């Protein structure tokens, strides 16, 4: 086994402190990743300067940049960003496989900004947005002026690599800056899940300590393994306080015994567009397997909904209450962008258009969840407790497996969308009147379904349920969802594609009941605008505005927040 693989087996990560276009184009970097277990890459202006000076690979891009009027740092960052994007794409599988622990690349802000806090923040934001890679760290020096820039950048949701740390004091100061940024995000109701790393220049310490440290460190030092024990205690205390006293959208709360606390009980307003089968067969009227062009068209249509979601946040829907639900098949890039922006996300884990629940990606379901690390992993299940017993048992078994995985091995919360379709005999009791079934029989069946699934070991943090006409029915659903110590488990009401008046009625009823924390209304919000857009009856901008306005109206009706969309 190569020494680098042995190093990885011991739990160490090997990041390459080098980048050059030849390294990328020749396949050398990919070989380092595949054969030598290199799991990340860092760069700095000096490394890029050396690469550009010593390689003809940059000559033509430089000439092209000059023809476009680019000079100096503008031209430099055009070249650097192209290399960084390529490197980030090579490390993307590592990033996904390690749940974001590894697979990072780093790009440093201009050294000319080292003593200017405001321009450093602006540069970090600009570089990260231009790179458009979620596995990119922006390097900021840990100077006195850099510390507030680090804090502000973390608050803005930008992953940061703190560089130029030459002492324990500077390292502690940098860590404190990162924590302040995270605490500010929590206070603002934002997702605290912003990654960071500190680059401590150990070689400088080796030189400074040469001939000064004893051959054998004192016993207390050896027991600490070189780590600042007091600092670890202070950081642990602050992280504990943050977890105990703040709402953490994407980090599951942990009890003192290390077990996750079941439930999610803060407001949650979801714009869901994880529909796949209905998009393909009803909106686009396609059948069979889609080709790449068709897949891109569906993805572009879902981008319209995502743009509406962002517009709604800018128009007054509170970001800490807003969320999207989208699928990986057509919404991969949306999930990546949403996580980079710190939005609350949910990702569908079930196959679409199926009568029986099963995993979209089979035995690889966990890998696909952790590739995106959504706030919620969501499944839809059609489950009538008085229906087909064998079917129910199979579905409950799969749900239990997912429940166990999410609660024991993942940071994602568990969301179950429960539909209780009528059996033929049940519908006959009401002479085929579905609305009568919805009013009279579906509510007690929903209670039974939740009880049966709980008994099967299915423990969602949030139940996503069909709308209910009476407050009493809503209260009974909350009571069963929260029974036997499940005090923080919550419910949200879904739209089920109903017309707007009916959805508004359901939202008004649910909003008045403690335990119903929000809604997930999709087709009622976006279907008509998308149909009109497909028929060229409205523009894309009009479609975005219409969807945002409807989502805003539902949010405002649920909790009274004013919205201007």
Per-residue confidence (pLDDT) for residue 237, from 0 to 100: 37
Does residue 453 surpass a pLDDT of 80? yes
> With the CA atoms of 82, 85, 87 and 91 taken in that order, what torsion angle do they form, in degrees rounded to the nearest 10?
-170
* Dist. CA 158–CA 535, nearest whole Å: 39
Report pLDDT digits (tens) over 89-104. Answer: 999 999 988 888 899 9
| Res 171: pLDDT | 86
Helix and strand numbers, DSSP H then E, in the chain: 24, 14
d(CA 193, CA 201): 26
- Tell which wins on pLDDT, 188 or 40: 40
Give me 246's structure tokens.
């703040």
Confidence at residue 111, expressed as pLDDT on a 0 to 100 scale: 85
Q: Supply the pLDDT for residue 210.
A: 56
What is the rounded distance in angstroms from the CA atom of residue 11 to the CA atom of residue 429? 63
Query: Each residue of 50-71: pLDDT tens digit?
Result: 899 888 999 999 999 999 888 8
Mean pLDDT of the chain, nearest integer: 87
Question: pLDDT exceeding 70 applies to what percent of the chain?
Answer: 88
Q: Which of 70, 139, 260, 483 is catalytic?
A: 139
Look at residue 439 in the predicted model and tell me its pLDDT.
95
| pLDDT at residue 174 is higher than 80 | yes
Which of the two residues, 353 and 416, has the higher pLDDT score?
416
Residue range 305-328, pLDDT digits in tens: 999 999 999 999 998 899 999 999
pLDDT beyond 50 at 259: no
For residues 452 and 547, what is the distance between their CA atoms, to the nearest angstrom? 37
Q: d(Cα 371, Cα 394) in Å, to the nearest integer?
A: 26
Lateral strand order in the sheet of 196-200:
14-17, 38-42, 105-108, 136-141, 160-165, 196-200
Query: Confidence class of residue 458 from pLDDT cuts 50, 70 and 90?
Result: very high
Whether the per-residue pLDDT at 508 is higher than 90: the answer is: yes
Question: ∠61-62-64 over CA atoms, to 5°?
Answer: 65
What mean pLDDT is predicted for residues 457-478? Answer: 97
pTM of the model: 0.59
Residue 200 bridge partners (DSSP):
165
Residue 233 token pair: 């205690």
pLDDT of 223 reads: 29
CA distance 253 to 512: 26
Q: Write the CB contacts of 95 (distance below 8 Å, at least 6 apart in sequence).
A: 102, 103, 104, 134, 135
Mean pLDDT value across residues 117-123? 91
Over residues 519-562, the pLDDT tens digits come to: 999 999 999 999 999 999 999 999 999 999 999 999 998 876 66
**pLDDT bucket at 209, cuts 50 / 70 / 90:** low
- For residue 86, the Cα-to-chain-centroid distance in whole angstroms is 22
Domains of the chain: 3-213 (3.20.20.70), 268-559 (3.20.20.70)
Neighbours of 164 (CB within 10 A): 20
**Nearest one of 367, 377, 521 to 462, comparing CA atoms:** 377
Report the 10 Å Cβ neighbour count for 77: 22
335 — pLDDT class (breaks 50, 70, 90): very high
CB 433 within 8 A of CB 465: no
- Catalytic annotation present for 302: no
Indicate whether 290 pLDDT > 70: yes
Cβ atoms of 177 and 147 closer than 8 Å: yes
Q: Is the pLDDT of residue 193 over 90?
A: no
pLDDT at 464 over 90: yes
Does the pLDDT of residue 239 top 60, yes or no?
Answer: no
The sign of the torsion formed by the CA atoms of 320, 321, 327, 333 equals negative
Q: What pLDDT is recorded for position 408?
A: 85
pLDDT band at 366 (very low <50, low <70, confident <90, very high): very high
pLDDT at position 115: 81
Mean pLDDT of 148-161: 94
Measured distance CA(95)–CA(115) in Å, rounded: 32
């Amino acid at each position: 086994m190569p020494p680098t693989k042995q190093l990885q087996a011991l739990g160490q990560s090997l990041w390459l402190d080098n980048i050059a276009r030849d390294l990328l184009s020749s396949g050398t970097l990919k070989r380092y990743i595949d054969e030598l277990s290199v799991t990340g890459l860092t760069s700095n202006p000096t490394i890029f300067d050396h690469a550009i000076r010593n390689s003809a690979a940059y000559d033509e891009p430089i000439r092209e940049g000059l023809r476009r009027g680019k000079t100096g740092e503008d031209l430099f960052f055009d070249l650097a960003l192209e290399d960084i994007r390529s490197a980030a794409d090579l490390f993307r599988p590592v990033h996904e496989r390690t749940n974001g622990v590894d697979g990072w690349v780093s790009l440093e802000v201009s050294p000319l900004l080292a003593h200017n806090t405001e321009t450093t923040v602006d540069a970090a934001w600009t570089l990260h947005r231009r790179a458009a890679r979620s596995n990119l760290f922006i390097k900021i020096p840990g100077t006195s002026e850099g510390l507030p820039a680090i804090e502000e950048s973390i608050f803005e949701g930008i992953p940061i690599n703190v560089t130029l740390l030459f002492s324990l004091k500077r390292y502690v100061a940098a860590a404190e800056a990162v924590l302040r940024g995270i605490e500010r995000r929590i206070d603002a109701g934002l997702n605290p899940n912003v990654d960071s790393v500190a680059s401590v220049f150990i070689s400088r310490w080796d030189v400074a300590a040469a001939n000064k440290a004893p051959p054998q460190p004192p016993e207390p030092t050896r027991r600490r393994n070189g780590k600042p024990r007091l600092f670890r205690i202070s950081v642990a205390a602050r992280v504990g306080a943050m977890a105990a006293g703040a709402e953490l959208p994407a980090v599951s709360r942990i009890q003192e015994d290390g077990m996750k606390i079941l439930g999610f009980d803060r407001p949650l307003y979801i714009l869901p567009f994880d529909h796949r089968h209905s998009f393909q067969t009803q909106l686009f009227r396609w059948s069979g397997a889609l080709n790449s062009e068709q897949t891109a068209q569906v993805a572009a249509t879902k981008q319209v909904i995502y743009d509406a979601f962002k517009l709604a946040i800018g128009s007054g829907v509170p970001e800490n209450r807003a969320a999207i639900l989208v699928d990986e098949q057509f919404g991969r890039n949306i999930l990546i962008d949403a996580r980079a922006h710190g939005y609350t996300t949910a990702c569908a884990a079930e196959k679409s258009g199926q009568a029986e629940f099963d995993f979209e990606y089979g035995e690889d379901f966990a890998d696909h969840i952790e590739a995106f690390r959504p706030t919620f992993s969501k499944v839809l299940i059609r489950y009538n407790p008085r229906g087909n017993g064998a079917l129910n048992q199979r579905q409950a078994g799969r749900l239990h497996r997912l429940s166990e995985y999410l609660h024991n091995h993942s940071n994602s919360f568990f969301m179950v969308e429960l539909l209780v379709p009528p059996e033929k005999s049940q519908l006959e009791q009401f002479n085929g009147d579905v609305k009568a079934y919805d009013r009279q029989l579906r509510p007690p069946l929903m209670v039974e379904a939740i009880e049966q699934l709980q008994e099967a070991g299915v423990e969602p943090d949030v139940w996503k349920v069909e709308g209910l006409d009476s407050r009493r029915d809503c209260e009974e659903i909350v009571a069963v969802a929260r029974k036997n110590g499940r005090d923080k488990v919550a419910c949200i009401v879904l739209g089920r594609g109903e017309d707007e008046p009916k959805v508004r009625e359901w939202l008004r009823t649910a909003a008045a009941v403690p335990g119903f924390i929000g809604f997930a209304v999709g087709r009622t919000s976006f279907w008509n605008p998308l149909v009109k857009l497909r028929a060229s009856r409205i523009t894309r901008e009009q479609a975005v505005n219409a969807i945002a306005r409807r989502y805003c109206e539902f949010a405002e009706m649920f909790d009274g927040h004013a919205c201007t969309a």
